[in-house]
Copies of this chain bind each other. A is one copy, B any other.
C-alpha cells in the first residue's frame, strides 16, 4: 500500500481534549479522528489494526466451535420490556422513535435479541449447546466520554452468547472462552490480568474481567504479583502491602482498563423471555446462558497505551497495520522511483508493505514513521545506488546496512 493514497493524516500537535498518551498518539499518528464527543472515525491505519484484532478473535472462537452472525443495532422496545431492562437501564441507553412513533433503542448489548432468536429454535436439549457471537458497533451514551476510545459512545465489540442444557455444560463453555480470551489477548500483544468481578447489571453468578494494567485505567484492581489471578471479592478488604492469603507475596493495587468480561448469566433472560427447552427427562426448563464481551476498539487503545512512548508507537507483530515500512529518503527522479517500486513489489510478495511515496523531506518522513510504528523499517538512502539499504528492527532499534541481495534473508532472521 502506498502512503499517499492510504490517507494517514499525521498531526504535529494532539487535539487539546486528548488527556492521555494513547489518545494523543492515536490522533497524532492519523489513527482516529473525532466526529463528536466520544464518537470517532477509525482512519485507515487504525482500521487495519482493528481488522487484525478481529481476525485473531474469529480464529480463536471459530476453532472452539463458536459461530458468527450479525444482529441489528436497532432494537424494538417490546424486546427490552420482556426482559425488564427498558425501565432498568438508565440514560446510557440511547433511545429513539421511528417515523410511526414506535420506540427503539440502539443496542449496547444483545441479550434480548439473541434470546429471541434462539428461543424459537432450541426447543430441545438435542439442539443445544449453541455458542453464537457477533462483531458489531455498539452504543452507550456515556455521561463523560473520555480518553479517546476508552470510554466512547459508539464502539466496536465482540459479544458472544452461549446456550446450555446444564450448569456443567455452561461451565465447560465458560472455561473454554476464558482460555480463548487469554489466547486472543496474548496474540494481540496485550498483557492482561484476570480479575473476578461483581456481576452488576447483567445478573448471574460468576464473572471474570480481563484487565490491562495501566495508569489510565478506570477500575481499581487488588492483586498480588505472584498469583496469576486476582479476586476482587476476596481481596477487597486488603490494602497494598498486606500479606496475600493465597501465596507468599504481598498485596498490590493498580488501575486497570477492562478489555473483556465473561459472565455466567444463568437463566435471567431465558426465564423472563421464556426461552425454554425440553430436557433429557422430558420436562421444560429455561436454557442456561453465558455472555462474553470483548471491547475491540478499547483493545486497540490499550495496545497503543502499552506499546508506545511519547514520540511514537511500536505495534505488536500480529496486529501491526503493516509488516514493513519502506521509506525512500527522496522520491523524485523517475529512475529512482522505478527502482524503489521494483523493491516494493518484490517485498509485497511476502510482506504487507507500506511505501512512503510522499514528496516530503526525510525528517518529516522519519518523524511520521516513528509515530506510526511499523515493526520493521527499511530506509532507502544514498547507498541505494550501491545496492544497499538500511534495515531497522524497531524492537531492539539495531540498524544494519544490508545489500539488496541479502535483504530477504535479513528480514527472515527477524521472525
Which residues of A come within 8 Å of B, CB atoms? 1-2, 4-7, 9, 33, 35-36, 39-44, 47-48, 50, 62, 65-76, 79, 91-92, 94-96, 98-99, 104, 106, 113, 116-117, 120-121, 126-127, 129-132, 136-137, 139, 141, 143, 153-154, 359
B5 touches A74 (CB 8 A): no
Q: How far is the CB of A63 from chain B (nearest CB, A)?
A: 11
A72 touches B39 (CB 8 A): yes
Q: How far is the CB of A4 from chain B (nearest CB, A)?
A: 8
Q: In the bound complex, how far is the Cα of B121 from the Cα of A33, in angstroms?
A: 11
A67 touches B1 (CB 8 A): yes
Q: How far is the CB of A307 from chain B (nearest CB, A)?
A: 21
Closest B residue to A76 by beta carbon equals B36
Contacts of A65 in B (CB 8 A): 2, 5
A7 touches B70 (CB 8 A): no
Q: How far is the CB of A401 from chain B (nearest CB, A)?
A: 32
Q: Which of A9, A50, A70, A121 has the largest number of chain B CB atoms within 10 A?
A: A70
Contacts of A48 in B (CB 8 A): 68
B41 touches A117 (CB 8 A): yes
Q: How far is the CB of A47 from chain B (nearest CB, A)?
A: 5
A7 touches B69 (CB 8 A): yes
List 14 other contacts, CB 8 Å, given A5-B130, A73-B73, A98-B141.
A4-B127, A7-B132, A36-B74, A39-B72, A39-B76, A40-B72, A41-B117, A50-B70, A72-B154, A73-B137, A73-B139, A96-B96, A99-B141, A137-B137
B126 touches A41 (CB 8 A): no
Given the contacts A5-B130, A76-B36, A99-B143, A41 and B71 also touching, CB distance less than 8 Å: yes
A121 touches B9 (CB 8 A): yes
B35 touches A104 (CB 8 A): no
Given the contacts A6-B67, A94-B96, A131-B5, A41 and B121 also touching, CB distance less than 8 Å: no
B143 touches A39 (CB 8 A): no
Contacts of A91 in B (CB 8 A): 99
B113 touches A35 (CB 8 A): yes
Given the contacts A7-B130, A9-B120, A69 and B47 also touching, CB distance less than 8 Å: yes
Closest B residue to A118 by beta carbon equals B7
